[in-house]
Amino acid sequence: MCVVCDGMGGLAAGAAASRAAVSAFLGRYVSKPPNETIPVALRESLTAANEAVLALSAIEGECGSTLAAVVVSGNTMHWVSVGDTRILLLRDGRLFRVNREHRYQVELRRECAHGDGIAPFPPDDDPRGDQLTSSLGEAPPGAIDISVRGLRWHPGDSVFVVSDGLYRTLDHGALGELARESGPEICTAWVQAAIAAQRPDQDNVTAIGLRDRRAVPVGRADALLHAAGRIGARVQAVIASLRRQPSIATVTVIAILLVVMLLVASKASQAAAVESAERPGAQPGFAR
């Protein structure tokens, strides 16, 4: 499991809120009943975290926190989030955003994209743009992003939970490039790059991750295409033989090999389509 809580409400209050949220979340999750599903356990754990932050606010004054958590169980990845802490999946060298961010600008853009389009997009310098539309410390939080079915977890996958201080300093393209170049030390590379940027308004940076160490298997499509390539090489060899000594038998062999190669290539295309359908999309919230 990975959990990141990014506190709000001033340095001291924010730190206390994030610690209370993480402690309550983990405390509830590790005590989940055996028959409780992971999505239900994640939601109940988030509720416990929210209650902890509300209790702290009653004592210390107004404070809040984001929360994003990931659980990998067997071949499935589950998550829950509230606020703008981001979950990223690295698969086959590509970095995908998993969860939905609860920020004013993001929510408004989503409404425009799926609604009647009347509301204008907020400008980049709109002071409301980065305001959270949901966080811990509200009764209840305005919105929760939670995976119901989860996402299929593949050998070689890596998942990361990062605070906004990271992705506001390094854009998605830069994060993906560093992820491909940094081997297993991706989180360290990200944090070091954010610090090296020396932004005067740099927020705190947090990045944690889980990596599947299993070897990445050759896809069925790749295996079939490799087989088609071998058949193609055999066809070329037979053609060369035909040029030296033409015969009806050799022509027949070529015809049979060509038919087999076409059938294998067709199967490879179908397998590639299936494998592509199992891959995540490029937009937030791709597998709910």
pLDDT of amino acid 14: 92
Asked, for residue 272, whether it belongs to a domain, the answer is: yes
pLDDT of amino acid 202: 86
Same domain, 6 and 62: yes
Chunked into runs of 10 residues, the chain (288 residues) has average pLDDT values of 91 91 98 96 98 94 95 97 97 95 74 55 59 92 93 96 96 96 92 94 92 69 52 54 55 52 54 46 43
Same domain, 12 and 128: yes
Same domain, 113 and 244: no
Asked, for residue 285, whether it belongs to a domain, the answer is: no
pLDDT of amino acid 111: 60
Same domain, 96 and 33: yes
pLDDT of amino acid 120: 55
Same domain, 120 and 255: no
Smallest Cα–Cα separation from 83: which of 107, 62, 61? 107
Last residue of a domain, one of 185, 215, 245: 215
Same domain, 119 and 234: no
CA distance 275 to 219: 8
Q: Which domain holds residue 70?
A: 2-215
Last residue of a domain, one of 191, 215, 239: 215
pLDDT of amino acid 181: 92
Query: Is the C-alpha dihedral spanning 215, 220, 222, 226 positive or negative?
Result: positive
The DSSP 8-state label assigned to residue 138 in this structure reads B
Q: Is residue 83 within 8 Å of 99, Cβ to Cβ?
A: no
Last residue of a domain, one of 215, 231, 257: 215
pTM over 0.75? The answer is no
pLDDT of amino acid 184: 85
Q: How many domains does the chain have?
A: 2
Same domain, 267 and 153: no
pLDDT of amino acid 276: 43
**Residue keyed to tokens 């015969």:** 247
User: Quick check: helix, strand or coil at residue 87?
Assistant: strand
Q: Is residue 34 within 8 Å of 114, Cβ to Cβ?
A: no
Same domain, 105 and 241: no
